[in-house]
């Protein structure tokens, strides 16, 4: 198990940010099993669908293969695959793509401070090549944020594009149907059925 080494104030801040996110999502209405949720600071997708990530000319695809939230000893626990292309071509099907298969999780609270549960020992960022992004999981969908867990939520030049695709062989990062979204604190949180994400040609 990886033990997160951080100062006490930072640990509290990180936990508080997570609580704020959960409250906001509840107020906006929880997504259904086949929804994509587009939020100001994150994109949530169902398991098995590919989320595209880009920063400048570097491209990445992430697919969550299992959402084990509520089924293991962890509070939240997901497994994922990532595909990173750093040669500026955007070709995620070439032989030089960096593939990763991993898991991330949040432990159950170890103790409580001022009524706030504190978690120690968590894997809080997904990795795709050099890119690392914060995640969280609900009952149906998994969220990817525009920042690492120990960063303030703002624009870091990351763009996310939700897709219907389930296999990396389908991916074309230049497909005109893709909608690349940046962090936008003024964007309204919406749920979109995955089948309505775009019109198939």
Q: Is residue 2 part of a domain?
A: no
Region 113-136: mean pLDDT is 87
pLDDT score of 147 more than 90: yes
Per-residue confidence band for 201, with pLDDT thresholds at 50, 70 and 90: low
Sign of the C-alpha dihedral computed for residues 145, 172, 61 and 156 taken in this order? negative
- Report the run of H or E that residue 144 belongs to, with start and end: strand 141-145
**Residue 142 domain-assigned (yes or no):** yes
Spatial CA neighbour of 59 closest among 125, 131, 144 = 131
Summarised one tens digit per residue, pLDDT across range 10-66 is 433 333 344 334 333 334 578 899 999 999 999 999 999 999 999 999 999 999 999
Residues 6 or more apart in contact with residue 128 via CB below 8 angstroms: 53, 60, 61, 62, 82, 83, 84, 100
Among 62-76, 133-147, 163-177, where is mean pLDDT lowest? 62-76
Percent with pLDDT over 70 in the chain: 85
Residue reference for tokens 């309505």: 196
- Give the pLDDT confidence score for residue 17 in this predicted structure: 40
| Number of domains, the chain | 1
Domain extent for 40:
8-196
Asked if residue 3 is part of any domain, the answer here is no
Work out whether the CA dihedral 1, 84, 189, 65 comes out positive or negative: negative
Query: Is position 1 within any domain?
Result: no
Measured CA to CA in angstroms, residue 87 lies from 60, 84, 102 at distances of 11, 9, 23
The confidence band for 3, taking pLDDT boundaries of 50, 70 and 90, is very low
| Per-chain mean pLDDT for the chain | 85
109 in a structural domain: yes
Residue 168 lies in a domain: yes
Domain assignment present for 18 = yes
Asked if residues 156 and 147 have their Cβ atoms less than 8 Å apart, the reply is yes
Residue 63 domain-assigned (yes or no)? yes
């Amino acid at each position: 198990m990886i033990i997160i080494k951080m100062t006490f104030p930072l640990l509290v801040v990180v936990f508080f940010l997570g609580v704020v996110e959960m409250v906001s999502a509840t107020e906006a209405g929880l997504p259904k099993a086949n929804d994509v949720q587009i939020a100001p600071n994150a994109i949530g997708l169902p398991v098995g669908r590919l989320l595209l990530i880009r920063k400048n000319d570097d491209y990445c695809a992430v697919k969550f293969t299992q959402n084990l939230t509520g089924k293991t000893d962890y509070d939240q626990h997901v497994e994922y695959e990532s595909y990173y292309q750093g040669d500026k071509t955007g070709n995620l099907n070439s032989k030089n793509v960096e593939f990763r298969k991993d898991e991330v999780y949040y432990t159950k609270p170890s103790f409580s401070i001022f009524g706030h549960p504190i978690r120690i020992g968590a894997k809080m960022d997904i990795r795709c090549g050099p890119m690392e992004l914060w995640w969280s999981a609900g009952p149906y969908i998994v969220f990817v944020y525009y920042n690492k867990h120990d960063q303030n939520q703002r624009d870091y030049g990351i763009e996310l594009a939700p897709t219907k695709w389930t296999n990396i062989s389908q991916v074309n990062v230049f497909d005109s149907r893709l909608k690349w979204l940046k962090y936008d604190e003024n964007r309204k949180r919406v749920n979109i059925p995955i089948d309505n994400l775009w019109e198939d040609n």
